[in-house]
Amino acid sequence: MLLKIYDKLLNHFGNQNWWPADTKFEVIVGAILTQQTSWKNVEKSIKNLKNENVLEPKKLFNLPVKTLEILIRPSGFFKVKSKRLRSFLEFFVENYDGNLDKMFELSLNDLRNNLLSVHGIGPETCDSIILYSGDKPVFVVDAYTLRLCERYPIIKTKKYEEVREFFEKNLPKDVNLFKEFHALIVELGKNYCKIKPICEKCPLNEGCKHEISNNDMPNR
């Protein structure tokens, strides 16, 4: 079932090659900045950080908050997100000396729990970090994934943990597959799921229960 959906999406959209970033650390910063924000805007912030040569753990840690706010302004919620970046950096430098290998040495479970304890890192950001920066097999669930589950009915619950476990149990434990699948679901959501008329051309048109409104995103 899930693999069939995956194949259709892959055939239609092709390989997405997520996450676009030069370093693992950049992935983490991007994961926090992209919360409820278009990637285009995040790119501007990332570019600013690179231009200032501060896109490294200790350098970012030592950056004054005011400066950080200015640099990440294009990606929105800049005061909230500068705090969230600070929370992560403090956690990261204090516990792992700003060393990603050290952090990712943890067991999947400890890693998840520790990241989730950081203020501003919720389930999706946590799992994006683990999958795309840590290369470990957790499935990232987002609002698009929940909507997909609703429309085909794949699973009744809308609870993050349950949906994540369902995908992980019903797919081969393949990091690359998890990366691509999540990216493809996002691509699907961006292109086809908003307005009913477009559904005719949707690769998942068959069996879709999209009947109602233009916007029925789970968290709006």
Partner DNA sequence: ACCCAGGTGGCCC
Partner DNA sequence: GGGCCACATGGG
What binding mask, one character per residue, do residues 56-95 give for DNA by CB under 7 A, x or -? -----------------xx-xxxxxx--------------
Give the whole-angstrom CA distance, residue 64 versus residue 71.
11
Query: Could you give the string, one character per residue 189-208, with x where binding to DNA holds by CB under 7 A and - elsewhere?
Result: xx---x--------------
**Residue 190 or 196 having the CB closest to DNA:** 190
Q: Which of 68, 124, 163, 164 binds DNA (CB under 7 A)?
A: 124
Q: Is position 171 an interface residue for DNA (rule: CB under 7 A)?
A: no
Place of tokens 């929105």: 76
Q: Please, what sign has the CA dihedral across residues 75, 53, 100, 70?
A: negative
Q: Return the number of the residue (12 or 158) whose C-beta is nearest DNA.
A: 158
Helix 78-96 to helix 24-33 angle (10° resolution) is: 140
Among 10, 54, 93, 143, binds DNA (CB under 7 A): 143
Task: By CB under 7 A, tell whether 37 contacts DNA.
Answer: yes
Q: Does 214 sit near DNA (CB under 7 A)?
A: yes
Please report the DSSP string for 7-47 in residue order.
HHHHHHH--------SSHHHHHHHHHHTTTS-HHHHHHHHH
Token code pair at residue 196: 């009913």
Q: Which of 36, 53, 107, 109 binds DNA (CB under 7 A)?
A: 36
The two tokens of residue 129 are 């970090």
The 3-state secondary structure of 153-188 reads: CCCCCCCHHHHHHHHHHCCCCCHHHHHHHHHHHHHH
Please tell me whether residue 40 binds DNA under the rule CB under 7 A. yes
Closest CB to DNA among residues 22, 58:
22
Binding interface with DNA (CB under 7 A): 18-20, 30-31, 34-41, 44, 73-74, 76-81, 118-126, 128, 132, 142-144, 158-159, 183, 186, 189-190, 194, 214-215, 217, 219-220
